[in-house]
Amino acid sequence: MSRPVRIQFEGALYHITSRGDRREAIYEDDEDRSAFLKTLGEVTETFNWICHAYCLMTNHYHLVIETPDGNLSKGMRQLNGVYTQASNRRHQRTGHLFQGRYKAILVDADAYLLELTRYVVLNPVRAGMVSAPGLWSWSSYQGITVTVD
């Protein structure tokens, strides 16, 4: 049975998540998180994406991405592929880092963007990792002006 085709079009907005293989950590330390964010920045620039929000957890990440050029699949292949290669090199591993295919939920920007952004940056609070979103360095919370309390 083949995988369903991704819905891609110009100006689409997605809530994207990807989890570590066997639910294992995809970031072992802050250097890994920095490397992921650097790769995300490069992919965002290369593929003309707009990143509205992000949050790096221990074994998964959340992104809110807008694709003005309708090229989500190509960019995600680059993001997860380049980061996996860098992580494997750094930690002297081989094989998969991510569990299967990333999840991309198409979002209605007008009705849901604010609520989705809140959800993404509040993940570390809900997981008990920090008591307030501003205490988690690995999300876009500090760069947005939305009240999430």
User: Among 21, 138, 38, which residue's Cα sits nearest to residue 83?
Assistant: 38
Three-class SS of 58-76: CCEEEEEEEECCCCHHHHH
Q: What is the pLDDT, as a whole number, of residue 6?
A: 81
CATH fold of 12-106 reads: Alpha-Beta Plaits (3.30.70)
Instruction: Report whether pLDDT(122) > 70.
Output: yes
Spans of all domains in the chain: 12-106
Q: What is the pLDDT, as a whole number, of residue 90?
A: 97
Instruction: For residues 116 and 66, give the distance between their C-alpha atoms in angstroms, rounded to a whole number.
Output: 13
**Lowest mean pLDDT segment, chosen from 2-6, 19-23, 81-85:** 2-6
pTM of the predicted protein model: 0.92
User: Among 28, 13, 138, which residue's Cα sits nearest to residue 83?
Assistant: 28
What are the pLDDT digits (tens) for 88-105?
999 999 999 999 899 999
DSSP lists the bridge partners of residue 20 as 98
Instruction: Report whether pLDDT(1) > 70.
Output: no
User: Among 100, 51, 97, which residue's Cα sits nearest to residue 72?
Assistant: 51
